[in-house]
Structure 1
Amino acid sequence: MTNEDDTKKNCSDVHENVNRKRKNSTNSNGKGNNTEYQNSKKFNHNNKNNHEGQEEEDEENMLSLSLSLCPTKPIREIPEQESSPLPSEPLDSFPVTMPQLPHPLQLSPTHAIYVSSLNETTLLPMCRHQEPATQKPLRLRRNPTQAPGEGKGETVPALFPWATTKRATVQSFNYLVAKNITTISGDVQCKKCEQQYKMEYDLREKFLEVWKFIADNKSSMHDRAPNVWMNPVLPTCKFCGQENSAKPVIPLKKKQMNWLFLLLGQLLGCCTLDQLKYFCKHTKNHRTGAKDRVLYLAYLGLCKQLDPKGPFDR
C-alpha cells in the first residue's frame, strides 16, 4: 500500500509540473503582442529542426517518467516562441520621398494675368488700377445731313413763279396774291391713256380746303397723315374721262419738284419717302420715321410757308 501511495504521489507531482509548464507557456505567449506573434511565424520554418529536437527530448523525459510512475499519455510541451528581431539599421537611414504636387496655377502665356519675368518662371498677380469714373462731357447733337451735300448750295434756280430760290420752299400766300399769282399749274399724266397735259388749281379755293381740313382734324391726326393723304384720289383724265387716273408728273431731280401744285391738289402722297425726306431735310424738320409721319410734316411745313400765322404749328 505504501508503494502504491508513493507511485500516485509521484504521478500527481508530474502532472502538476506539466500543468505549471503549460501555464507558463500560455502566459508567455499571451504577453506577446499580435505583431510579434505574426512575425515569429516567419521563423518557424527556419527553426523547425531545433524545435523538433527539443520536442523529442521532452517526449523522452515524459515517457520515462510516465513509464516509471504511471501509464499516462505523453504530453507535448509547447515551445516558447522567439520574438522576431528588430531591424538593426536606424529609421533615419531609410530614404523618405515626398510626392511632388503639381503647380497650383497653370496659365497660358497669353492670359491676362500672366507676367513674364527675366527667367520666365514667375507668375505675379496683376492688380488693375481702376480709375474713378468721370462723367463724360455732354456732346451736342448735330445732324450734318440737314445741310446740303458736298458741291451743293442752299440756293437753286426758281423754276416756278411761286417758288423761291431756296430748296423746297414756296412763296407766301400774301406774296402770291400781291403779285396776282392765283393760278397754280402742274403736269399730270393719265395712267390709262398715258396722255400728259397741264392741270391748274385756284390758289384761294384749294388752299382754303387744305387749311380747313387741317384745322378740323389736326387734333385727331396724332402727328400722322390720314388715309386721304396717304392714298389720294387722283383727278379724272380730261381726254379719256377715266376717274382717279391723272397722276402728277414728278421730276427725277428733287430740286425741280412743284411742291405748291402737289399741296393744293393734296397729291403729296404720290411722292416717295425719299422725296418727302428731302423736303424735311431742307426745311429743318425731323425726317426719320414712317411715311405717314414724314408726309404729315410735309403738309404742315408747306402750309406754314404759305400762312406762317395759320394753325400749322406742331
Structure 2
Amino acid sequence: MKNEEDIPNDREINRKRKNSQDFQIPRRFSGREEEDNDILTLSLSFCNPTPPIRRSSPVQPPPQPQLPSQVLLSQLQPPLQLSPSHPLYVPTLAPLLPPACTAAAAGVGDRAGAGPSRPLRVRRNPTQAPREGKSDTVPAPFPWATTHRATVHSLTYLLSKQIFAVSGEVQCKRCERQYEIQFDLRQKFAEVGSFIAKNKGTMHDRAPSVWMTPVLPTCKFCEQENSVKAILSEKKKAINWLFLLLGQMLGCCTLEQLKYFCKHTKNHRTGAKDRVLYLTYLGLCKQLDPSGPFDR
C-alpha cells in the first residue's frame, strides 16, 4: 500500500509524462509536414519548367508597289533549274512524239546533256574538191602538164617524150620587154632537188628567203640584173608551174595562187606564205620524182 504522501507525487509524475507526450506528438507531425512540403516543392520544380522565351520576329517592311516594267520582268524570269541529283528535282514529262521525232529529240538530248548547246559548224576541209561547175580535169595547158589541175608529168615521162627543155614567158621590170626563155629540165631540176635534200632538215617546213624573194634572171635586152619576172596567167589553171619551179620563181606567185596549187594537190593550204610556198616546192618535186627525198 502506498502512503498518502506518495499519491500526489505519482499524480504529478503522470501529469508531466502526459504533457511531454503531448508535446512530442505535434513535433513529430510538424517534422513530417516539413518533409512532405520539401517533396512537393521538388516535384513541382520538375513538373513546371520555365516557359520558353519568345523572340520577337523582325518587323517586315511593307511591300513596295511594283512598276509595270518590274512586273513584266518578274513574269519573264525563267523557272529555277535544278540538277537531277537535287532532292527537289521533278522530271518533266515529255510530250508524245512520233518515232522519228522521238529519235531526233533523243539525239539532241544527248548532246545537251554533255554540255551547253552550240550551233553546229561545218568543218572546212583544206583538201576539198572543186566547187560545183568546175571539173577536176582541164585541157593540158603545156606539153609537160597533165589534164589535172596544178599537176605536171614525171621526169621519166618527159624525157621519154623527148622533152628536155621547159619554156615560159617573162617580162623585164626595167624595159618592160616581153620574151620567152628556156630552162634545161635535168640541170635545173638537179639544182632544186639537191638544194632541198641538203637544207630540208633546217627549213622547219618554211621556205627560205632565197625562195621567198628569188633572184631573177638578167634581161637580155637592157642587161639589167634581177629584173626579168615570169608572166603569170590570170587563170590559175593556166599557170606554168614547172617553169616557175625550174627557175625557182615560185615566190613571185601570190598567196592565193599558191593555195590553189595546194588545194588541187591535196596539201594543207592554211598558214603564212612561207609555209604554203614550201609545200608547193615539195609538191612539184614530188610530181617530177615520186621516189625522191621530197616527202614532208
TM-score, normalized by the shorter chain, greater than 0.5: yes
Confirm or deny that 1:111 pairs with 2:77: yes
User: Which of 226, 233, 240 in structure 2 is aligned with 1:258?
Assistant: 240
Return the letter of the residue paired with 2:228: A
| Contact 2:183 2:246 (C-alpha < 8 Å) held by counterparts | yes
List, as ranges, runs of 4+ consecutive aligned residues in structure 1 with deviation greater than 4 Å. Answer: 126-132, 139-142
State how 1:1-314 maps to structure 2 within 5 Å: 101-102=62-63, 108-113=74-79, 133-134=113-114, 143=125, 146-314=128-296
Deviation of 1:113 (Å): 2.6
Contact preservation (8 Å) 2:165, 2:182: yes
- The TM-score with structure 2 as length reference comes to 0.63
CA distance in 2, matches of 1:169, 1:262: 13
Following TM superposition, by how much is the alpha carbon of 1:102 offset from its aligned partner in structure 2, in angstroms? 2.3
Could you give the per-residue CA deviations for residues 257-295 of structure 1, whole angstroms, max 9, x where no partner exists? 000000000000000000000000000000000000000
Task: Indicate the SS of the match to 2:176.
Answer: coil
- Post-superposition shift, 1:151? 0.6
CA distance, structure 1, for counterparts of residue 233 and residue 141 of structure 2: 12
**Structure 2 gap segments, 5+ residues each:** 1-58, 81-87, 93-108
Q: Give the conservation status (yes or no) of the 8 Å contact 2:126–2:263.
A: no
TM-superposition CA deviations, 1:46-97 (whole Å, max 9, x none): xxxxxxxxxxxxxxxxxxxxxxxxxxxxxxxxxxxxxxxxxxxxxxxxxxxx
Instruction: State the TM-score, normalizing by the size of structure 1.
Output: 0.60
How far does residue 212 in structure 1 lie from its aligned partner after superposition? 0.2
Distance 1:144 1:232, change over 3 A: closer
Give a deviation string over 1:197-239, Cα, whole Å, max 9, x none: 0010000100000000000000000000000000000100001
Whether contact under 8 Å (2:127, 2:268) holds in the other structure is no
Q: What is the alpha-carbon root mean square deviation over aligned residues?
A: 3.0
Correspondence for 1:119 = none
Q: For 2:181, what is the secondary structure of its paired residue?
A: strand
Q: Structure 1 pair 173/129, CA: closer, same or farther in 2 (3 Å)?
A: farther
Q: Give the share of equivalent positions with the same residue, in percent.
A: 67
Deviation at 1:159, TM superposition (A): 1.4
Q: Which has the higher contact order (CA 8 A, sep 6+)?
A: 2
Q: What secondary structure is seen at the aligned counterpart in 2 of 1:184?
A: strand
Query: CA separation in 2, counterparts of 1:128 and 1:225?
Result: 63
Gap change, CA 1:193 and 1:140, over 3 Å in 2: closer
Residue ranges of structure 1 left out of the alignment (5+ in a row): 1-97, 115-125
Asked if structure 1 preserves the Cα contact closer than 8 Å seen for 2:172 and 2:178, the reply is yes
The amino acid of 2:206's aligned partner reads R
| Alpha-carbon distance in structure 1 between the residues aligned to 2:277 and 2:127 | 19
CA distance in 2, matches of 1:100, 1:199: 96
Distance in 2, Cα, partners of 1:220 & 1:144: 26
Does the C-alpha gap of structure 1 residues 101 and 128 become closer, same or farther in structure 2, counting only changes over 3 Å? farther
Q: C-alpha separation between the residues in 1 aligned to 2:60 and 2:144?
A: 99
Question: What is residue 29 of structure 2 aligned with on the other side?
Answer: none
Cα distance in 1 for residues equivalent to 2:281 and 2:126: 24
Evaluate the alpha carbon distance shift between residue 102 and residue 251 of structure 1 in structure 2; reply closer, same or farther with a 3 A threshold. same
1:8 is matched with which residue?
A: none
Distance in 1 (CA, whole Å) between partners of 2:157 and 2:293 is 19
1:207 and 1:179 map into 2 onto residues whose CA distance is 17
Q: Which has the larger radius of gyration?
A: 1
Distance 1:153 1:224, change over 3 A: same
The structural deviation recorded for 1:143 is 1.4
